[in-house]
Amino acid sequence: MDRQFLLNSVQMANFAADGFLLFPELISEEINREAMREIDDKLIPQHYEHQGQPLAGLWTESKGFGRLFRLPEVQGIIHSLVGPDPLYDHHAFHKVGPQHIEGQVWHADATIDPRQGHFDIQLFYYPHDTPREMGGTMFLPGSHLRRIHETDIGRYQNFLGQFPIVCKAGTLAVAHHGIWHCAQPNLTDTMRYMFKLRLNPTVRQMLLWNTDDLESPEIHNALFRNHRWYGNDDRLEYAQRIKFWRFLTGNEKFDSNYWLTRIENTPEKVAVL
Amino acid sequence: MQRQKLMILYTHTPDLKSGVCAWTVYDGTGKEHHTTGDSDTPPYSSVFAAMKDGWRVIQLPQHYPAYPGMELTTAYLRWETVLEQMVEVESE
């Protein structure tokens, strides 16, 4: 893996805090056009492929979607987050029809996930321009570490700081599997497409990125980013992110702003008076 | 005849005067359409502000002590207050 394509530590800290990263217009127009052709001509199956197979063997002849996740830039993102040799979990072509005025309810994919550190990623690829009125996916930054089950969060409609994807063709969002999200209403007269691909790790997700900047103070700033929608739970969010960063770095002593150190302080030495 | 409107406000703390962080509206009159992502600004700055505007609180959030070992775990938004208005509508 060429290190120039790996994410850096600050990007990883942003992922740890926000639950996703956005890569505007990362994919070339040539691949975007080919991907749309593969959709129109149904050259990529609409149904799931065999789940749990190595991603490397999937769609090897495809010059659209297959070529997309073989790009060195995308390989670098994947490697940084889930490591080498990830497994294909599933894919889906998400379509929102024209004049579809109802937004999808908020949800997190699959099921409530009991894993404490290990995570899957989901690639969200927008092959065409997606203005706000077309209903690109709405993400909730910072939601990914909460223990909820799928659409049990369906009673929420709006949050402070909710983040709709408004983008040019070729934009890629890469999200932690726990991110809360929902498709938005499509108020245009054109079908809105989004391609999703979920990947599982096969290695311990520790220091998989370019760690040259591992001591950057920006990491602490990222981990303490307040997204506002969780109110007084912000302190719990910071604690969860510190624990996640410990997992990602393998450094169980890592702390930021003394947040966990003080509540892990249980000295046993008996004082002699 | 009357129809019910529900507004669910998720606040910063259990204090009804604290800021609104998330919100949901269901309009039983059918006149307003609400869905996910339809606004970036809460309808009211606090539950108390909504009360002063005529909304009636019908459910307050309860406190539950953290289960040992789960003190730092986060899940659903805890400070959920449900308000209602009864609105006169024309008979069908």
Q: What is the CATH number of the domain that holds A51?
A: 2.60.120.620
Q: Could you please report the per-residue DSSP string of A206-238?
A: SS-SBGGGTT-THHHHHHT---STTGGGHHHHH
Q: A260 lies in a domain? A: no
Mean residue pLDDT of chain B comes to: 97
Residues in chain A with pLDDT < 50?
A: none
Shortest alpha-carbon distance between residue A217 and chain B (Å): 24
Shortest alpha-carbon distance between residue A165 and chain B (Å): 12
Q: Is the Cβ–Cβ distance between B21 and A159 less than 8 Å?
A: yes
pLDDT confidence band for B91 (50 / 70 / 90) = confident
The answer to whether B21 contacts A240, with C-beta atoms less than 8 Å apart, is no
The answer to whether A155 contacts B8, with C-beta atoms less than 8 Å apart, is yes
Distance CA(A156)–CA(A107), nearest Å, equals 10
Going by C-alpha positions, the residue among A264, A173, A249 that lies closest to residue A216 is A249
Q: Which two tokens stand for residue A105?
A: 């309810």
A-B Cβ pairs (cutoff 8 Å, strict): 95
Query: Domain tally for chain A?
Result: 1
Distance CA(A137)–CA(A132), nearest Å, equals 10
Question: What are the residues whose beta carbons fall under 8 Å from the beta carbon of A82, sequence distance 6 or more?
Answer: A119, A120, A121, A199, A200, A201, A205, A208
B22: nearest CA partner in chain A: A159
Query: Domain tally for chain B?
Result: 1
The answer to whether A184 contacts B36, with C-beta atoms less than 8 Å apart, is yes
pLDDT tens, residue by residue, A70-117: 999 999 999 999 999 999 999 999 999 999 999 999 999 999 999 999
The answer to whether B77 contacts A157, with C-beta atoms less than 8 Å apart, is no
Domain that holds residue A157: 3-200
Domain that holds residue B27: 2-88
Q: A234 lies in a domain? A: no
Q: A248 lies in a domain? A: no
The whole-number pLDDT of residue B92 equals 65
The whole-number pLDDT of residue A1 equals 84
Which residues does chain A have within 8 Å of residue B19's beta carbon, measured at their own beta carbons? 231
Shortest alpha-carbon distance between residue A261 and chain B (Å): 14
